[in-house]
Each structure stands twice: as C-alpha cells, then as structure tokens.
Amino acid sequence: MNLTDEQLERYSRHIILEQVGATGQEKLLSGKVLIIGAGGLGAPAGLYLAAAGVGTIGVIDSDSVELSNLQRQVIHHTPDVGTPKVESAAAKMRAINPDVTVRTYFDRAGPDNLVALMSEYDFVIDGTDNFSSKYLINDAAWFARKPFSHAGILRFSGQLITVRPGQSACYRCLFPDPPEPGAVPSCSQAGVLGVLGGVIGTLQATEAIKYLLGEGELLTDALLTYDASGMEFRKVPVRRNPRCRLCGPSPTITVLEQQDQAVCDLSGSCNC
Amino acid sequence: MEITVNGDAVTLDGPLTIARLLVEQEVKMPDMVSVEHNGKILDRAEFDKQQVRPGDTVEFLYFMGGGA
C-alpha cells in the first residue's frame, strides 16, 4: 500500500510517531475492527477509529437513536433521533474520514451470527449494555479466537480489560457466574455520567489501535477500573482461572449459547 | 490484623470469612461483586468458607453491565 499525498497529510501526526510511521498507518488502513453496540462506548470508539484511519469498521446494533441517548452517545446528533444507530454512526464516520469503509449490521448480535461476523475482523470492541451480551461476546470471541476489549460503565465508574482468547484471562475467568437477575440494578434507573462512555470507549479504541499496530502492551490479565468521583484509575492484576467454564482445562461451555438472564434492565428495555 | 482491600491497607479484628469481609467493608450489593483473594478468583459458594488471614490481598471486582 502506498499512502497518497492527502493521506500523508491527514495522518501526519501518526506518521511522525516513532511507534506508528508510514508502516503503522498502512497497518491501520488495512485493519478491520468490529464495534458491537453503537452506544455510549461504541460512539467515541467509532469516531476515533475512523479518524485514525482504521480501514474497515463494522458496526452492529439493532436500536434506533432516542433523545435520551444524546447525553453521552456523541456519534448521534439531535436530527438523528429515530434513525437506526448503525446508519447514524456510519454517516459520521464516513464524514470524518472517507478512507474508511463502514459496514453496518442493523441486527442483534446473537449466537447464530456472532462467531461468523467476528471472524471477518481483526479486533472486536464490546460496547453492549447488558450482561447477557457481554458473556455472549466473551464466549463468541473464544470460539472465534478473536481478541476483544470488554468494558462496562455505570454511574461514576467504568472498567475495561482486553482478552486474547486462550492467551489471557477472559471475562468468565474474572466473573464466573453472571449476577442473579434480581440482583442487577436497572441501568436506566442507576444512570451513568455521560463522559464515562467517552473515557472508557476511547480506551477501548486505544487497545484496538495498539493491537493493529502491534505496538505497546495490551491491557490483558489486568482489569482497569476508573472511578470518576475520586478521579482514580486502578489496574488490578488478574490471571486465567483454572476453573473457568469456558477457557479452563475442563470446559463445560462447548457451544455458543445466549444466557437468558441478568439483563441490564429488569423491565427488559434498557436505555442506558 | 492488616490486609489489603482494593489496594488500600485495612485493619480488621481477627480472622474472618470473605462473606463477613463483604459485610464489614459495607459492600452494598455483594451479589454484584466478584472476589479475587490473593490473586485467585473465588466461586460464590466459597465466600462463606474462605478465611482471610493477615497480609492477604482482596480485590472486589464489580459487575458493570452498562455501556450504551
């Protein structure tokens, strides 16, 4: 791949970096990242990945933009209310950078489509808003052997970890049992500070970019927690769990299934 | 005895279980916490049995399901 004069100018602040250079930028341009959920986390991730020149970005989401999304889902604007989120997100990413090919999937990520979809990409960003999806993505990534960034945000807190299936701790290694449905606070009731998605979603994009570049150390085997209240980041070391039902030596999860429990909102419709 | 909880030094009376520690540390929703004890993730069923000893390190990892 030869960068055009326009690309040399557009990506000049990348190219000047020792860890990126023209070679790194070409890696980004040939890179493919799948964003699952074009919401609080997926919005900033999508904007920065597009700006960075990640050549192919897939976005899957089955929702349309609602007014209550706009407090934090910065890829969607007021005139987009009522539009499918994937279309709204794709329009902004294409506007930022015409180099980027955006593939949209106006669909739910499920056990029937996720492994095949993931295998078309290099790296996956989990920007979903419920435990059922987060476990599903973790499991699908294991079966597809696809690295991904897990993240969650709630109230004034956020967390993330990068998983390289078979090489580093997975989400189930840390959280073996999904919480009981009755124990889960309603996301829309609990609320979330809008900027949390920006902080954590941008960190997820950082991991995707590092992975594509092959530069730096990924956030594997450590859970990064962020408390906006005390403005504190902590990196908690974790390791693969020998009793993990998915990636341990004696797995009991051998096929991909969606767990119909512990959804984010007790009423079944989460707009967090 | 002194232990480390989420990176902070904590002084407690005598040995106690993880379940008791969750109460003493005023973890409001223990069902929403995964516990790492000296680097090992515990099964929920172990919370009542697992003893915490002086010098131990405990991390409460919170379930965070939001994202949209």
Q: How does pLDDT run across A111-145, given as a tens digit for each residue?
A: 999 999 999 999 999 999 988 999 999 999 999 99
pLDDT of residue A265: 41
CA-based diameter of chain A, in Å?
A: 57
Residue A86 belongs to domain spanning: 12-237
In this predicted structure, the answer to whether residue A192 has a pLDDT above a threshold of 50 is yes
Instruction: Assess A235–B contact: CB distance below 8 Å, yes or no.
Output: no
pLDDT mean over A242-250 = 97
In this predicted structure, the answer to whether residue A263 has a pLDDT above a threshold of 50 is no
A269 inside domain: no
A56 inside domain: yes
In this predicted structure, the answer to whether residue A188 has a pLDDT above a threshold of 80 is no
What is d(CA A100, CA A29) in angstroms, rounded to the nearest whole number? 8
A176 inside domain: yes
* pLDDT beneath 70: ranges in chain B: none
A254 inside domain: no
Q: How far is A163 from chain B (nearest CA, A)?
A: 16
- Please state, for a pLDDT cut of 90, what percent of chain A lies above it: 87
Q: Do A152 and B41 touch (CB under 8 A)?
A: no
pLDDT of residue A183: 67
In this predicted structure, the answer to whether residue A227 has a pLDDT above a threshold of 90 is yes
**Is pTM beyond 0.90 here?**
yes
Number of domains in chain A: 1
Instruction: Assess B39–A contact: CB distance below 8 Å, yes or no.
Output: yes
Contacts of A268 (CB under 8 A, 6+ apart): none
Structural domains present in chain B: 2-62 (3.10.20.30)
Instruction: Assess B44–A contact: CB distance below 8 Å, yes or no.
Output: yes
**Pick from B6, B36, B65: CB nearest A131:** B65
A164 inside domain: yes
pLDDT of residue A185: 63
**Pick from B41, B63, B67: CB nearest A153:** B67
Instruction: Assess A37–B contact: CB distance below 8 Å, yes or no.
Output: yes
Q: Do A152 and B65 touch (CB under 8 A)?
A: yes
- ipTM score assigned to the predicted complex: 0.92
Both tokens assigned to A64: 């349309």
In this predicted structure, the answer to whether residue A267 has a pLDDT above a threshold of 50 is no
- Please state, for a pLDDT cut of 70, what percent of chain A lies above it: 92
CATH code at position A51: 3.40.50.720
> Which residues of A have a catalytic role annotated?
187
Where do we find the tokens 């997100």?
A: A89
Using a CB-CB distance cutoff of 8 angstroms, which residues of chain A are in contact with residue B43?
A: 176-177, 243
In this predicted structure, the answer to whether residue A272 has a pLDDT above a threshold of 80 is no
In this predicted structure, the answer to whether residue A184 has a pLDDT above a threshold of 70 is no
pLDDT of residue B67: 80
- Are the CB atoms for A34 and A62 separated by under 8 Å? no
A272 inside domain: no
A90 inside domain: yes
pLDDT band, very low/low/confident/very high, at A249 (cuts 50, 70, 90): very high
In this predicted structure, the answer to whether residue A48 has a pLDDT above a threshold of 80 is yes
pLDDT band, very low/low/confident/very high, at A270 (cuts 50, 70, 90): very low
Contacts of A271 (CB under 8 A, 6+ apart): A66, A68, A69, A187, A188, A265, B68
In this predicted structure, the answer to whether residue A213 has a pLDDT above a threshold of 90 is yes
Both tokens assigned to B57: 């390190």
